[in-house]
Amino acid sequence: PRKWDEADLRMAEAHLRTAATLGSPGRYQVEAAIQSAHASARLTGRTDAQAVLRLYDALLMLAPSTGARVAHAAATARVHGTERALVLLEAIDPALTRNYQAWHALRADLLRELGRTQDASEAYRTAIGLSQDAAVRRFLQERMQGTIQGQ
C-alpha cells in the first residue's frame, strides 16, 4: 500500500483549510494540523519546525496529555535546542512517564546529543524494555549501540 499518496495529502489539506473556517479549533483539528505539517515535508522537502512547535503549544492548551508533552519536548529540541527540550521532558511527572516508552526513547536521544552516553544508554535500555514492537526494539538497540560506539 502507498503510504504517501499526494492526492490524498492535498485532499487532507483542503479539509483542514475548510475546518479552519468553521470556528475555533479543537484537539483533533490541531492534531491533524500537526500531522499535516509533518506530511508537508513530502511535498516541500522540509518540515516547518516553528509551525510544528506552535501547533504543539496549542495542543497543550487544549489537551495537555503526556504524549503531547513528550512530542512538544521533541519539537522544542528542533527549534530551541536539546538542553531546553530535556528540561521540558524531565519536568513531566515521573509517575506518568515511568512506563512510557516514548519518553524514555526521546530522553535517550536528547542525552545522546548532549554527549551523556552512559545516561543515554541506560535510557535506551529502559525504552527497549518497554517496547512491544520488535522493529522499534531493533531501532532502539541500534541507536544504543551507536551511542556506545560513539557514532
Residue 80 resides in a domain: no
Domain count, the chain: 2
| Mean pLDDT of all residues in 13-37 | 83
What mean pLDDT do residues 61-75 have? 97
| Domain membership flag for residue 79 | no
Residues 89 and 150 in one domain: yes
Which range of residues forms the domain containing residue 10?
1-64
Q: At what angle do helices 66-80 and 49-62 cross, to 10 degrees?
A: 150
Q: Rounded to an integer, what distance in angstroms lies between the CA atom of residue 57 and that of residue 54?
A: 5
List the one residue out of 50, 57, 18, 52 whose CA is nearest residue 33: 52
pTM of the model: 0.86
Q: How confident is the model at residue 40 (pLDDT cuts 50, 70, 90)?
A: confident
Asked if the structure places residue 70 within a domain, the reply is no
Q: Is the pLDDT of residue 97 over 50?
A: yes
Flag whether pLDDT at 67 surpasses 80: yes
Instruction: Kindly state whether residues 91 and 151 are assigned to the same domain.
Output: yes
For residue 1, the model assigns a pLDDT of 44
If pLDDT is split at 50, 70 and 90, which confidence band does 151 have? Answer: low
**Do 55 and 112 fall within a single domain?**
no
Residues 97 and 127 reside in one and the same domain: yes
* Same-domain status, 54 and 90: no
Note the pLDDT of residue 2: 56
User: Where does the pLDDT of residue 6 fall: very low under 50, low under 70, confident under 90, or very high at 90 and above?
Assistant: confident
Let me know whether 2 and 39 are in one domain: yes
The mean per-residue pLDDT over the stretch 97-104 comes to 98
Would you say 73 and 106 are in contact if contact means Cβ atoms under 8 Å apart?
yes
Among the residue ranges 9-13, 72-76, 82-86, 119-123, the one predicted with the least confidence is 9-13
Q: Are 51 and 99 within one domain?
A: no
pLDDT at 3: 66
pLDDT of residue 4: 64
